[in-house]
Structure 1
Amino acid sequence: MGNADITLRHIARRRPGDLARVFVPEHRSVEVLGWIDTQVTKLERRLDKALRLRVGGELRVLHVEFCFALRDDVPDQIFEYLGFLFTALRNEAPGEPVPPIESVAVVLSGRRQRLPATGKRRTAWPERRFSGTHFRIDAVYQRTVAELRARGSVFWLVFAPLARDATAAAMREVVAEIHARAAAGEERNELYTALLVMAAIDPWGHNLRKELIMLFDDREMEKKLLRSMPIIGEMILEAERQAAQRGEKRGEKRGEKRGEKRGEKRGEKRGEQKGEQKAIAELLGRLFARRVGRRPTAEEEQSIVERALAMGPGEVEDALLDLDAEALVRWLSEPTVTSLSKP
């Protein structure tokens, strides 16, 4: 799901209790013990998908998947992750019972018709009784702004642009509520960033992204907002990881056919480089568009990528935030150097 998934996981780390409380039975106490992080989940590379909880004094686990849409492969992904998660918990405490696990798919867009409250992945033979897994479906885009607000946390307010009754007036109220309730400026800016990412999904055609940008249309606010995105670095790392996996698979396939290990290495290397350059061009190109008012030309985009690879994405991000439009265009037309010098 790209940017939305990374953004939501990032802010969920700050407020795991707010994420969990909505899915715990009413009137039951809940204590968050932490994100599950074991050797098996490290191999699976999705460390922040499952929370260890104590609900009414009992150990439990909550597994959450943020889904752009309830595609046909979502049940498969949830079942697959449950296998990794169960193995991780079992290896973590040999001989001890594995805590009960609840899986939830938080869905951000899709059909207008109401989604079911429960999904399933059947593994048994058709003529046998059900065997497999059930999971909860929380279609946040089908809820109202009032329903999201009733969940009692600014974490759930970031989904307000997805609500079926979202309006410009409602977004102004949501931004004001986040401003009043978020504890620190850094967290507030991260929540604002999440609002913009959610508005870009726009499942109902509300076109609220421009309205939200206008609410942040102050130069200092814009700089703080964009600087609040360690999310950018995470997106680049995630793109690199996925590209490496794709490259490795292509390389392995060539190696099997040709019996050559070199094919695997070349495929992996090309996949890593292509994925890294695509991520940099996409993410930093957006910052360029906000500063200059247009998308970068092919030459400017290539310059952004070359400078990010030579100097690091962080320094190029600084230039995109600090230089005015004219100076930025001039800087990108100059030969690439290894350190940033601002006119």
Structure 2
Amino acid sequence: MGQADITLRHIARRRAGDLARVFVPEHRPVEVLGWIDTQVTKLERRLDKALRLRVGGELRVLHVEFCFTLRDDVPDQVFEYLGFLFTALRTEAPGEPVPPIESVAVVLSGRKRRLPTVGERRTSWPERRFSGTHFRIDAVYQRTVAELRARGSVFWLVFAPLARDATAAAMREVVAEIRARAATDEERIELTTALLVMAAIDPWEHNLRKELAMLFDDREMEKKLLRRIPMIGEMISEAERQAAQRAAERAEKRGEKRGEKRGEKRGEKRGEKRGEKRGEQRGAQKAIAELLGRLFARRVGRRPTAEEERSIVERALAIGPGEVEDALLDLDADALVRWLAEPIRR
């Protein structure tokens, strides 16, 4: 999910209790003990998707997946992660029973027809009794603004632009509520950032992003917001990691095929290294183009041309994304277009 996934994981880490309470049985007291972080989950690279809880005095674990849509491979991903998670918890406390685990897929967009509330991944033979895993489906985009507000936390208000009945008037109320209830300026900026990111998904074609942007017309606020959408350093790192991982996997497969023919592993290792390096470079350039291209569109009123996008990426790589970001924020539209057409001063 890229931008949305990073943004949601960021605010979920800070508001774990608000995330968990919605999925805990009603009227049961819940205490958040922290995100699960073990050596096994480090290998899986998704440390912030499982919460350790105490519900009514009992240890439990909540596993949450934020999904752009409920793709066919989501059940596979849930089942796969549960295997890593179960192994991590068992390794962490040998001889102790593994706490019960509940999995939830929070879905941000998709079909108009109601999604089921429960999904499954069957591993048993079709004619045998079911074996595998069930998981809950929380299609937040199919809820109303009132339903999200009833969850009682500003965390869930950031999903309001996804609601099927979202309107410009409702968004003004949501923004006012976030401003009133946010504990600090930093929290307000983070929640507002998430609100704008969710508006960009727009599953019902409400076109509320421009309306929301107008609510944050203050110059200094705009700078702070744009600098945090979507937390440029983290997103570039994530893009690099994912691209490198995919490239390494492809290189490994190519290396294995060559190894089968030649009976050697040297080609595989060289392929992995070259693939990782190319993947990192392409991932960084794609992330820079996506992020800074949005700032260009906001300042100039249109998407950058291919040449302008190439200039943005080249300047970011030559002088740093921060310098380019400053130019995109500080220059007016005409000056910005001229600056991108000038030779790069390294």
Do the structures match in fold with TM over 0.5?
yes
Checking the alignment, whether the CA contact within 8 Å between 2:255 and 2:265 is kept in structure 1 is no
Deviations 1:187-219 (CA, angstroms, capped at 9, x unpaired): 111111111111111111211111111111232
Structure 1 SS opposite 2:256: helix
Checking the alignment, whether the CA contact within 8 Å between 1:248 and 1:264 is kept in structure 2 is no
Deviations 1:207-233 (CA, angstroms, capped at 9, x unpaired): 111111111123222112112346222
Structure 1 CA distance for aligned equivalents of residues 260 and 217 of structure 2:
49
Checking the alignment, whether the CA contact within 8 Å between 2:161 and 2:199 is kept in structure 1 is yes
Q: What residue in structure 2 maps to residue 101 of structure 1?
A: 101
Structure 1 CA distance for aligned equivalents of residues 261 and 194 of structure 2:
38
Deviations 1:271-329 (CA, angstroms, capped at 9, x unpaired): 22111111111111111111222222323222221222233323322332233334433
1:19 Cα deviation after fit: 0.3
How many equivalent residue pairs?
Answer: 337
Q: Evaluate the alpha carbon distance shift between residue 17 and residue 272 of structure 1 in structure 2; reply closer, same or farther with a 3 A threshold.
A: same
1:255 Cα deviation after fit: 11
1:256 Cα deviation after fit: 8.3
**Correspondence 1:8-87 to 2 at 5 A:** 8-87=8-87
Q: What residue in structure 1 maps to residue 219 of structure 2?
A: 219
Deviations 1:105-142 (CA, angstroms, capped at 9, x unpaired): 00111112211111110001111111100000101111
Identity of aligned residues (%): 91
Q: Evaluate the alpha carbon distance shift between residue 156 and residue 40 of structure 1 in structure 2; reply closer, same or farther with a 3 A threshold.
A: same
Stretches of structure 1 that go unaligned for 5 or more consecutive residues are 336-341
Q: Evaluate the alpha carbon distance shift between residue 202 and residue 250 of structure 1 in structure 2; reply closer, same or farther with a 3 A threshold.
A: farther
Structure 1 CA distance for aligned equivalents of residues 212 and 201 of structure 2:
13
Structure 2 CA distance for aligned equivalents of residues 320 and 276 of structure 1:
19
Structure 1 SS opposite 2:263: helix
- Once the two structures are overlaid, the 10-residue window that deviates more, 97-106 or 217-226, is 217-226
Checking the alignment, whether the CA contact within 8 Å between 1:251 and 1:265 is kept in structure 2 is no
- Once the two structures are overlaid, the 10-residue window that deviates more, 241-250 or 212-221, is 241-250
Structure 2 CA distance for aligned equivalents of residues 250 and 182 of structure 1:
57
Checking the alignment, whether the CA contact within 8 Å between 1:10 and 1:231 is kept in structure 2 is no
1:252 Cα deviation after fit: 12
Structure 2 CA distance for aligned equivalents of residues 251 and 314 of structure 1:
44
Structure 2 CA distance for aligned equivalents of residues 205 and 124 of structure 1:
40
Q: Does 1:320 align with 2:328?
A: yes
Q: Evaluate the alpha carbon distance shift between residue 250 and residue 14 of structure 1 in structure 2; reply closer, same or farther with a 3 A threshold.
A: farther
- Once the two structures are overlaid, the 10-residue window that deviates more, 207-216 or 154-163, is 207-216
Deviations 1:9-40 (CA, angstroms, capped at 9, x unpaired): 11111111000000011111111111111111
Q: Evaluate the alpha carbon distance shift between residue 273 and residue 281 of structure 1 in structure 2; reply closer, same or farther with a 3 A threshold.
A: same
Structure 2 SS opposite 1:259: helix
Structure 2 CA distance for aligned equivalents of residues 269 and 254 of structure 1:
25
Checking the alignment, whether the CA contact within 8 Å between 1:253 and 1:264 is kept in structure 2 is no
Checking the alignment, whether the CA contact within 8 Å between 2:161 and 2:208 is kept in structure 1 is yes
Checking the alignment, whether the CA contact within 8 Å between 1:250 and 1:268 is kept in structure 2 is no
Structure 2 CA distance for aligned equivalents of residues 48 and 63 of structure 1:
9
Structure 2 SS opposite 1:106: strand
Q: What residue in structure 2 maps to residue 154 of structure 1?
A: 154
Q: Evaluate the alpha carbon distance shift between residue 169 and residue 260 of structure 1 in structure 2; reply closer, same or farther with a 3 A threshold.
A: closer
Which of 267, 272, 278 is matched with 2:286 structurally?
278
Q: Evaluate the alpha carbon distance shift between residue 262 and residue 229 of structure 1 in structure 2; reply closer, same or farther with a 3 A threshold.
A: same
Stretches of structure 2 that go unaligned for 5 or more consecutive residues are 246-253
1:263 Cα deviation after fit: 2.5
Checking the alignment, whether the CA contact within 8 Å between 2:123 and 2:132 is kept in structure 1 is yes
Which of 296, 300, 315 is matched with 1:307 structurally?
315
- Once the two structures are overlaid, the 10-residue window that deviates more, 187-196 or 324-333, is 324-333
Structure 2 CA distance for aligned equivalents of residues 229 and 4 of structure 1:
10
Structure 2 CA distance for aligned equivalents of residues 207 and 137 of structure 1:
26
Checking the alignment, whether the CA contact within 8 Å between 2:255 and 2:269 is kept in structure 1 is no
Structure 1 CA distance for aligned equivalents of residues 54 and 285 of structure 2:
43
Q: Evaluate the alpha carbon distance shift between residue 334 and residue 248 of structure 1 in structure 2; reply closer, same or farther with a 3 A threshold.
A: farther
- Once the two structures are overlaid, the 10-residue window that deviates more, 52-61 or 295-304, is 295-304
